[in-house]
Each structure stands twice: as structure tokens, then as C-alpha cells.
Amino acid sequence: MDLNFTPEERAFREEARRFFRTEVPEKIRRKVEEGHHLSKEDIVTSQRILNARGWAVPAWPREWGGQDWSPAQMYLYQDEMQQANVPSPLPFNVSMVGPVIAEFANEEQKRRFLPATANLDIWWCQGFSEPGAGSDLASLRTSARRVGDKYIVNGQKTWTTLAQHADWIFNLVRTDPSAKKQEGISFLLIDMKTHGIKVRPIQTIDGGHEVNEVFFDDVEVPAENLVGEENKGWDYAKFLLGHERTGIARVGISKARIKRIKELAALERIGGRPLIEDQHFREKLAAVEIELKALEMTQLRVVADERKRERGKPNPASSILKLKGSVIQQLTTELLMEVVGPHAMPYQPSEEGRNEPIIGPEYATEAAPTYFNYRKVSIYGGSNEIQRNIVAKAILGL
């Protein structure tokens, strides 16, 4: 038993740290650090820099650009990337549709989609949730009716993140309405420019526009865009949701935010002294740091365990990472808002070409919106209640 990384792993960490902090533009990393929304261009630029080095899709199979890294390297890569405030490569491409295509699609689809997906030449969005299918995802109703060499798709998806930027959507559709609900679902790739698709923005409580509704009205999709077999889509979706989940704890992101909390708490003053010297505040922060350290150790244990597990099989322990990781992320956003105090109050969305001077310190503008926005992390990707159901069943045998 040894907490230390090997000399090779330590060298890898150094290499990753240097790369992330020198090659990814400071301007983009600062936006992440300060909690501003990234433009499409920011995300594309960053991912292409990573991809040029072969670091956008390290977990993919080697022939499609993967790196065959050890779990420890994978952990170090994510940790350094997050601590450097580098935007994660688009998860819809890298952690979701990419691995599904690599695992289940035919050769032609792989050649067509995988390189473009890694380089973010194609921006994917995820067509899973529907108004009537949230936690109970398998009850989805968007239909795909086979007519000749086409599917005719009708229905509605929702909570579709960044659909406004997307070129393609990977969609769960019902191809057999008479089958048991998990068994009539297929995994279909759809070009967002196809006639009959409409995207409507949903403004979230932070004032931002991340999610959308996507409507399908007699959308014609070539049958060749089906991934794998018809009516096997639920299996592929489960594979997708279980893939690469150790990064879900987002420990590096919480570490970066704690660093920022400490920096800002040194600037804010309470009773004439820097807030960071206030013992009550320090204890609240220390309590979160302890939980975060424990989570990091838990993550390392899961990572170490990955070596012994069958590839592609979801590890129920990742539910713990999601549960605890989401709550800690939320706590850090809460603390950051407390740090800036009343300066959190003015609503000042970042807009291009703003003329008015900023009210209060510039670092305070995103504190409350980030707090509001992060309520999502215990809801998306299987809400924390769903994660508890998974652990109760799969680990505790209840």
C-alpha cells in the first residue's frame, strides 16, 4: 500500500501540468476560473489543442486516438486539466457518443464520425430526456418509424445541453411501440440541419442558456444512421452512462474553486480584517476540504479498482463519486457566494460590448449565477436520488 505515484506517473503529471498551463490560452482558462460562460469558439479551440496532442479522447480505443493510459494516468490527466481550469473536452462527444460508436457502430460509421467527433468538427448533443421521461428514461416516446431506407422521427426531447451549437444529435427513439419499454428503443444519429427539427432555448435560473427543447416533426433520417441493432438502444445507453464515470466526482474542479475561494476571501474584509482570517469562515471551508480530500481518496480507490474490472461494465461505486462529488461542488459554489457577500446581489450577465461599468468587484459577478447553475449537478446524469437507488440495489442488496 503506497500513496505515492511512481516516478513515471509523477513525470506524467508534470508534463500534463505544463501542457495545460502553457498550450491552452490563458483567456479561456481565466473564463473558466471566473465562472463565465464559454463561447462555442472557446470550447472548440481548447478541444482542438488537446486533440492535436492526442489528448482529447485518451479513453477511446487506441486505433481511434485513445492513449491506453493506466487508470492512474487518466486520473492525473483529469486532475491537472481541471486544476488548470481547462474546459473538459465536450463530454457529449468524448465520453458519451464517441465510446458508443467505437464499441457498437459499423466500420463506415466509425470512419465517418470518430475523427470528426474527437476534433470537435462535429458538435454532438444528447437526445435522451423528454418531458415525460426524466428519471424514468425508458418511458421515452419519441418515435422512429421505419419507411423504406429511412426512419421518420416524431416527438420531443428536452434539457438538451448546448443544442444551439450542435451539428448532430444522438437520439434514443422508440422503434417498437409494442415491446416492453426498455426493449423497443434504438440509438439513432440525426443531423441537426434536417428539415423538421426545431430548437427552442430554455433559460435557466442563473440567467444562462445552456439547455433547450428539441422538436422532431416528421424528420427523415437515413436508416444507415442507426447505431448497432434496432431495439438494442437501451443497452448502448446503459453502456454510455457507465462509461468513464470516475471523472464524475470532478475533484479537480472543486480544488480549483477552493483555491479561488481562498484568494477572494483574502480580498474581502470582515470587521476590518481579511475574511480568510476569520476562524468561523475557515472552519466552514476546512469542513468542505476534508470531505473533498476523502472524495479524492475514494476516487483513487475506485480508479485503482478499475484495473481489475471488466471493461465497459459500469461500476456502481461511481454512483458514490457522483453523489458526493455533486454535493461538494455545490457547497463550494455556496461558499464562494458567501465570500463576496452583498456584491453577489447585482444581476450583471456578461455580455459582449457592455458599456456600463461593473457594479462592485468584477470577481463577484458570477458568484450567485454559478451557485444557481450548480444546483443542476445533483440532477443531471441520473439525479442523486436515482444514484441512491442504484447503490441500494447494486451494492447494498436492498
Partner 1 sequence: MDFDLTDEQRLLKDSVDRLITERYDFESRNKYRAEPEGWSRALWEQYAELGLLGLPFPESYGGFGGGPVETMIVMEAFGRGLAVEPYFATVVLGGGLIHQAGSEEQKSALLPQIASGEALLAFAHVERQSRYDLANVTTRAHRADGGWRINGEKSIVLHGDVADQLIVSARTSGSPSDRAGIGLFLVDAKDVTRRGYPLQDGLRAAEVKLDDARAEPLSNPEGALSVAEQVVDAAIGALCAEAVGVMQSMHELTLDYLKTRRQFGRPIGDFQALQHRAVDMYVALEQARSMALFATMMAAEEDPAERRRAITAAKAQIGRSGRHIGQEAIQLHGGIGMTMEYKVGHAFKRMTMIDIMFGDAGAHTEELARLGGLFGT
Counting other chains too, the contacts that 64-67 makes at CB distance below 8 Å and 24 or more residues apart are 64/98, 64/102, 64/110, 64/114, 64/115, 64/118, 65/114, 65/115, 65/118
One of 80, 103, 210, 244 is an active-site residue; which one?
A: 244
- Residue 358, C-alpha cell as written in the block: 461593473
Question: Residues 266, 287, 345, 359: which binds partner 1 (CB under 8 A)?
Answer: 287
Contact criterion met (CB below 8 Å) for 305 and 315: yes
Rounded CA-CA distance 29/78 in Å is 15
Strand 168-174 vs strand 124-127: parallel, antiparallel, or unpaired?
A: parallel
How does DSSP classify residue 133?
B
52 binds partner 1 (CB under 8 A): no
279 binds partner 1 (CB under 8 A): yes
Residue type, 110: K
Question: Residues 227, 285, 335, 367: which binds partner 1 (CB under 8 A)?
Answer: 285
> What mask of x and - would describe binding to partner 1 in positions 297 to 326, judged by CB under 8 A?
xx-xx--x------------x--x--xx--
Nearest to 379 by CA among 203, 159, 187, 208: 159
Contact criterion met (CB below 8 Å) for 84 and 95: no
244 an active-site residue? yes
CB of 293 to partner 1, least distance (A): 5
Question: Residues 111, 198, 209, 259: which binds partner 1 (CB under 8 A)?
Answer: 259
Classify each residue of 195-214 as buried b or exposed e, where b means 16 or more C-beta atoms within 10 Å of its C-beta.
Answer: eebebeeeebebebebbbbb
72-91: contacts with partner 1 (CB under 8 A)? 72
CB of 258 to partner 1, least distance (A): 5
283 binds partner 1 (CB under 8 A): yes
Total residues binding partner 1 (CB under 8 A): 44
9 binds partner 1 (CB under 8 A): yes
> What mask of x and - would describe binding to partner 1 in positions 205 to 244, judged by CB under 8 A?
----------------------------------------
Rounded CA-CA distance 146/221 in Å is 9
Question: Residues 293, 309, 313, 354: which binds partner 1 (CB under 8 A)?
Answer: 293
Footprint on this chain of partner 1 (rule: CB under 8 A) = 1-6, 9, 72, 255, 258-259, 262-263, 279, 282-283, 285-287, 289-295, 297-298, 300-301, 304, 317, 320, 323-324, 385, 388-389, 391-392, 395-398
User: Which amino acids are annotated catalytic?
Assistant: 244
